[in-house]
Amino acid sequence: MIQVKDLRYRYKKEGPEVLQGLDFSIAKGEIFGFLGPSGAGKSTAQKILYKILDGYSGTITIDNKDLRYWGREYHEMIGVGFELPNHYLKLTGKENLEFFGSFYKGRSKYPAKELFEKVDLGHAMNDPVETYSKGMKMRLNFIRAVQHDPEILFFDEPTSGLDPINARTIKELIKELQSEGKTVFITTHHMETADQLCDQVAFIAKGRLMATDPPSKFKEAHGRPMVKARSLDGNTREFPLEAIGRNRDFLDFIQDNPIASLKTQEATLEEVFISITGETLRP
């Protein structure tokens, strides 16, 4: 659905190259995540993809057509959840939704009430947005992006500022979009969000892609193939994962001790993030 080849970008002609040749592709129905330190170029790359920033070099193909040749109809096809939502504060949530929806042909797909209820904002849809908390604004931002039923969705930090319950709602709604066949491209600093949602994640630092893979593959590659067993009385032992079912020491240990936990020693995505992008952060 999205193919990016050698994407380069400078904000100013003489300025630094903030994207230094990105290559990635996102299949239809995939949830793809950009992870990387602040200033890495995540939002810049997304803004180019949703045609807010022009003047890039490289090739971007969306649904088999060069992004440069997509016209106004491109905006019907994509939905964008911006990093810093710019709602009209004096208008109510519903008026904001309707105002931003009025730009689209496909706007009548869902009734407003249904959308607000989806993100647990049903009670506040007729309140001015200036009375909304940050998390409420983020949830309004989400329904603004999906209301015209686009094929491709971009979310810049979709769970930022949300409590765990609202974050889970948003994650479930993103999964739901995927089950409808939509293609989703997110950027996030929440490793848990990336881990739970993304089929593929790409680590980006200083305008370059460091690695792209499914989260599980990263976690295995950066972890140790071991199982750590801890007994209720605080005894801990590690055993190699390979052929663990025939490992006499392991079987004796779990038979002879009341077990409190058994954990495989794969890395967390946070550890992978630090290990992959950490070097680039040092001066």
Ligand X SMILES: Nc1ncnc2c1ncn2[C@@H]1O[C@H](COP(=O)(O)OP(=O)(O)OP(=O)(O)O)[C@@H](O)[C@H]1O
- With beta carbons less than 8 A apart as the criterion, state whether 161 and 135 touch: yes
Identity of the residue, 53 or 226, whose beta carbon is nearer to ligand X in the bound complex: 53
Binding mask 30-59 for ligand X (x = CB under 6 A): ------x-xxxxxxx---------------
Cβ distance to ligand X smaller for residue 46 or 169: 46
Q: Does 159 bind Mg ion (CB under 5 A)?
A: no
Q: Where are the alpha helices (DSSP H) in 122-233?
A: 134-146, 164-179, 191-197, 215-222
Give the binding-site size for ligand X (rule: CB under 6 A).
Answer: 10
C-beta of 40: minimal distance to ligand X in Å?
4
Contact 158, 7 (CB under 8 A): no
Least distance between ligand X and beta carbon 165 (Å): 24
Plot region of 78 (φ>0 → left; ψ -120 to 50 → alpha; else → beta): beta
Q: Which is nearer to ligand X, 85 or 101 (CB)?
A: 85
Q: Which token pair is 121?
A: 């904002």
Q: Is 200 in the site for Mg ion (CB under 5 A)?
A: no
Q: Name which of Mg ion, ligand X, none residue 85 binds, using a CB cut-off of 5 to 8 Å depending on partner kind.
A: none
Interacting partner of 41 out of ligand X, Mg ion, none (Cβ under 5 to 8 A depending on kind): ligand X
For 36-58, give the DSSP string.
--TTSSHHHHHHHHTTSS---EE
Q: Is 11 in the site for ligand X (CB under 6 A)?
A: yes
Is 43 a binding residue for Mg ion by CB under 5 A? The answer is: yes
Q: Can you tell me the distance from the alpha carbon of 138 to that of 142, in angstroms, rounded to the nearest whole number? A: 6
Rounded Cα–Cα distance for residues 185 and 133 (Å): 25
Query: Which partner in ligand X, Mg ion, none is near 44 (CB below 5 to 8 A by kind)?
Result: ligand X
Comparison of 38 and 102: residue with beta carbon closer to ligand X: 38
| Residue nearest to Mg ion according to CB distances in the complex | 43
Give the residue with the Cβ less far from ligand X, 41 or 93.
41
- Which one, 147 or 159, has the nearer CB to ligand X? 159
In angstroms, the CA 275 to CA 267 distance is 10
CA distances from 155 to 85, 152, 184 (A): 11, 10, 8
Cβ atoms within 10 Å, residue 63: 14
Candidate segments 40-48, 57-65, 100-108, 241-249, binder of Mg ion by CB under 5 A: 40-48
Q: Are 146 and 112 in contact (CB under 8 A)?
A: no
Which residue ranges make up the site for ligand X (CB under 6 A)?
Answer: 11, 18, 36, 38-44
